[in-house]
Structure 1
Amino acid sequence: MAEPRSPLFLERGSYRQRRLMDAIRLLVILGAVLWMIPLLWPSGAGPQEGHEGIPMSRALLYIFGVWVVLIAACYGLARGVQKLPDSTDDTGEV
């Protein structure tokens, strides 16, 4: 007869550190998706009459705005990871 397994317990600090690292990894994908959005905007050149395209200045402001927000988010998440205590696993390694 198999012994009942004890529930898996993760320290709160190591759990949060792992989730913050996952968020940092997903931030790259989010940034790529946000930078692709201007490709979906109407360009103004085409068979559609009466549709003006998005000005290039507005598209550039969007691109650099997303860039600044991504930098701020990375900085905030990195600071959050640094504030958490270092966790050690069962082998004693960090």
Structure 2
Amino acid sequence: MQGPRASIFLERQTYRRRRLIDWIKFLPVLGFVLWMIPLLWDTGGDDTVSTGAALIYIFLIWFLLVLASYVSARSLKTALDRRDQAMSQVTDEQP
């Protein structure tokens, strides 16, 4: 039997940066799923969704994905700049 495990401590900024990278990796999967939703829409009968509405939906999803990617990339750049600045301060302080 093993003894108690030592807890792994992650800095808050490191944790948030990793979750942000995970989100950026997940965005294409989310986009694919959202783009496939119009394929599930009913195409027959009186209460159908028009082609125009489907195109508006697709371009709206596309725009939101671009916007989410932009915001995520800016946030990641800011986080990496902060990390680099902190690392340079640590190396400058050492003799």
Q: With structure 1 as the length reference, what TM-score do the two structures score?
A: 0.75
State the alpha-carbon separation in 2 of the partners of residues 57 and 3 from structure 1.
Answer: 63
The residue that corresponds to 1:92 in the other structure is: none
1:86 shift after superposition: 2.5
Letter of the 1:58 partner, please give it: A
State the alpha-carbon separation in 2 of the partners of residues 52 and 3 from structure 1.
Answer: 64
Unaligned runs of 5+ in 2: 88-95
Query: Residues 9-33 of structure 1, C-alpha deviation per residue, up to 9 Å, x if partnerless?
Result: 1122211110000011111111111
The residue that corresponds to 2:93 in the other structure is: none
State the alpha-carbon separation in 1 of the partners of residues 10 and 35 from structure 2.
Answer: 36
How many pairs were matched up?
A: 82
CA root-mean-square deviation: 2.1
1:43 shift after superposition: 1.1
Query: Residues 42-74 of structure 1, C-alpha deviation per residue, up to 9 Å, x if partnerless?
Result: 112xxxxx5342111110000000000000011
**Structure 1 outlier segments of 4+, above 4 Å:** 2-5
The residue that corresponds to 1:18 in the other structure is: 18
| Alignment of structure 1 residues 25-44 onto 2, 5 Å | 25-44=25-44
| Alignment of structure 1 residues 66-77 onto 2, 5 Å | 66-77=61-72
The residue that corresponds to 2:92 in the other structure is: none
Letter of the 1:86 partner, please give it: R
Question: 1 or 2, which has the higher helix percentage?
Answer: 2
Unaligned runs of 5+ in 1: 45-49, 89-94
Q: With structure 2 as the length reference, what TM-score do the two structures score?
A: 0.74
